[in-house]
């Protein structure tokens, strides 16, 4: 599991650094904060990022937490997607991380807190 650290927003048009998403990654988030997730796809097919939702449980009484959030699909080859998180509290685990996974070929950066 890799840690992908958010980058602070800036007033310049500086190039963003993207991390390659793996089978399981963590992004440390401040509680009750807003973030923007930017995803790029470099593969020949559309891909989806799966974000763990440790706080919403459905159906009632379920043993595992569901539903997770699927971000995408991000279009093939040059596709880009953006996902705005208005309140990070929903996605933080007990360690303060947002846990996500995706197929190889996805690259992402997290901007925030906003």
- 81-107 residue pLDDT tens: 899 999 998 889 889 999 988 877 889
CATH number for the domain harbouring residue 76: 2.60.120
Domain of 84, in residue numbers: 2-7+18-111
Which residue is it, tokens 């190039």?
Answer: 15
- Residue of 21, 13, 26, 27 whose CA lies nearest to 81: 21
Match 């197929």 to its residue by tokens: 103
Q: Collect all residues with Cβ–Cβ distance below 8 Å to 60 and sequence separation of at least 6.
A: none
- The arithmetic mean of pLDDT across residues 71-89, rounded, is 89
Predicted pLDDT of residue 112: 94
Question: What pLDDT is stored for residue 67 in this prediction?
Answer: 62
Whole-prediction pTM value? 0.84
Residue 101: its pLDDT value, please? Answer: 86
What is each CA distance from 81 to 11, 46, 48, 56, 108, in whole angstroms? Answer: 21, 11, 10, 24, 9
When divided into structural domains, the chain yields a total of 1
Q: Is residue 78 part of a domain?
A: yes
Confidence band of 65 (pLDDT split at 50, 70, 90): low
DSSP string covering 2-69: EE---B---SS-PPPP-EE--SSEEEE--TT--EEEEEEE-SSS-EEEEE--SS---STT-SS----E
Q: Is the pLDDT of residue 36 over 70?
A: yes
The model's pLDDT over 49-64, given as tens digits with 9 standing for 90+, comes to: 888 888 776 656 555 5
49 belongs to a structural domain: yes
- Among 8-22, 36-50, 53-67, 98-112, the range scoring the smallest mean pLDDT is 53-67
User: Is residue 36 a part of any domain in this protein?
Assistant: yes
The reply to whether 97 falls in a domain is yes
How far is the C-alpha of 101 from the C-alpha of 99, rounded, in Å? 7
């Amino acid at each position: 599991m890799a840690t992908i650290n958010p980058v602070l927003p800036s007033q310049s048009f500086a190039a963003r650094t993207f991390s390659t998403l793996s089978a399981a990654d963590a992004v440390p988030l401040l509680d009750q904060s807003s973030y923007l997730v930017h995803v790029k796809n470099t593969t020949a097919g559309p891909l989806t990022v799966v974000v763990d939702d440790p706080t919403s449980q459905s159906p009632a009484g379920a043993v595992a937490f569901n539903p997770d959030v699927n971000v995408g699909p991000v279009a093939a080859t040059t596709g880009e997607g953006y996902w705005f998180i208005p309140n990070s509290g929903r996605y933080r685990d007990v360690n303060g991380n947002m846990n996500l996974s995706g197929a190889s070929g996805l690259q992402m950066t997290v901007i925030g807190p906003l």
